[in-house]
């Protein structure tokens, strides 16, 4: 199954979400703590590119190992392809209205707002609760890297009830983003978003 939002639709959607995101606010907080601007911006760009546009299901699958699959929400194209995956802050139930908040690599928002945003940005979407990417869907080193990401981004850490991240914050953030930064240029077609056909 192809993952991610189609490229033609993705640019405006991700720019709008990124501009006011928790990830951007966290970047500026870390800049005040001494994070190098260029390194930090590249880390933010890599995390957003890899885990919003194509590998969001991998992040949700790692989170499901911690909090359970009833917290994973997939928003799918009508043909069943994944548009975006998030982690709900409370358990969700198939067939019931979405409730509460959700998180992804960009931050926290209301589930109903995420659904409405996706519907307005791309097309009608269907909601699937509890779908988990299989273990063989992870790229080499990705699951371990995502465990670091979950521990370093405050909205993910709080949702997953992980312990406080150790210091130093700046180098820890760069370490957590290092896999995404290295993988971004070489991701193959199966891990990139594909156009609607």
3-state secondary structure of 107: strand
pTM, full prediction: 0.88
HSE of 25, CA atoms in CB hemisphere, 13 A? 11
- Nearest-angstrom CA–CA distance, 86 and 71: 8
Q: Are 67 and 125 in contact (CB under 8 A)?
A: no
Picking from 96, 71, 79, 82, the residue whose alpha carbon sits closest to that of residue 137 is: 82
pLDDT by residue, tens only, the chain of 197 residues: 345 555 556 677 778 889 999 999 999 999 999 999 999 999 999 999 899 867 999 999 999 999 999 999 999 988 888 989 999 999 999 999 999 999 999 999 999 999 998 888 877 899 999 999 999 999 999 999 999 999 999 999 999 999 998 888 999 999 999 999 999 987 744 444 443 33
Q: What is the pLDDT of residue 12?
A: 78
């Amino acid at each position: 199954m192809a993952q991610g939002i189609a490229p033609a639709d993705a640019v405006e959607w991700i720019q709008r979400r990124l501009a006011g995101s928790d990830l951007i606010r966290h970047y500026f907080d870390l800049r005040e703590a001494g994070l190098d601007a260029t390194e930090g911006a590249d880390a933010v760009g890599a995390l957003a590119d890899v885990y919003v546009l194509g590998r969001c299901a991998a992040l949700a699958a790692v989170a499901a190992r911690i909090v359970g699959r009833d917290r994973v929400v997939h928003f799918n194209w009508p043909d069943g392809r994944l548009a975006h995956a998030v982690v709900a802050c409370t358990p969700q139930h198939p067939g019931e209205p979405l409730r509460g908040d959700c998180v992804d690599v960009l931050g926290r928002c209301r589930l109903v707002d995420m659904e409405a945003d996706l519907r307005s940005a791309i097309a009608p979407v269907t909601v699937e609760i509890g779908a988990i990417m299989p273990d063989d869907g992870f790229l080499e080193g990705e699951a371990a890297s995502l465990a670091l990401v979950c521990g370093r981004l405050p909205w993910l850490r709080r949702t997953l009830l992980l312990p406080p991240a150790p210091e130093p914050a700046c180098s820890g953030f760069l370490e957590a983003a290092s896999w995404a930064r290295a993988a971004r240029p070489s991701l193959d077609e199966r891990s990139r978003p594909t156009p609607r056909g």
